[in-house]
Amino acid sequence: MAFDPVAKQLSEVLAGGYHRNTQLQALLSRPLDSRGQEVAMEFSQELSRVFAVSMAMLNSNAAAPEVRTGNSFGVSTPVKDQRARSDIGEVVAPSKKEITPSPHKDGYQWRKYGQKKIQNCNFSR
């Protein structure tokens, strides 16, 4: 299987990082003295470098993917989404919810529209 040069280089960097990780795991499986701590820190820094280089390679490759059509080569540029959007100017404010004790003790009681109190009766009309 043929890889492009960036993918091959990325594969080599990640393989080196995997090798460093196995060395670090073997080192951490036993108690560390001061020299072991220094070596573990070096391995950790090397792993961080491997991940940073890998991410940079992936981001640079994803930013400008190579387009191959026939015998020509080129770099594609992302096309802006041209779909119509209805919610562009719409700003949604967060709703405020206030919890009060129920039933309310403010002298008013909620009634359905049209309900009336009937004198000397427990039920409303």
* DSSP assignment string, the chain: ----HHHHHHHHHHHHHHHHHHHHHHHHTS---HHHHHHHHHHHHHHHHHHHHHHHHHHHHHHS-EEEETTEEEE--PPPP----S-SS--PPPP------SS--SS-----TT----TT-SS--
Give per-residue pLDDT as tens, 82-116. 665 666 666 677 777 766 666 666 666 667 777 77
pLDDT given for residue 114 in this prediction: 73
Give per-residue pLDDT as tens, 15-24. 888 888 888 8
pLDDT given for residue 69 in this prediction: 46
Backbone angles phi, psi at 74, to 5 degrees: -165, 170
Mean pLDDT of 13-34: 84
Mean pLDDT of 6-16: 82
Give per-residue pLDDT as tens, 44-82. 888 888 888 888 888 875 554 454 444 444 455 555 656
pTM of the model: 0.41
pLDDT given for residue 72 in this prediction: 45
Q: What Å distances lie between residue 26 and 5, 49, 50, CA to CA?
A: 32, 20, 19
Domain extents in the chain: 5-63
- State the angle between helix axes of 34-63 and 5-28 in degrees (0 to 180), rounded to the nearest 10: 160
pLDDT given for residue 50 in this prediction: 85
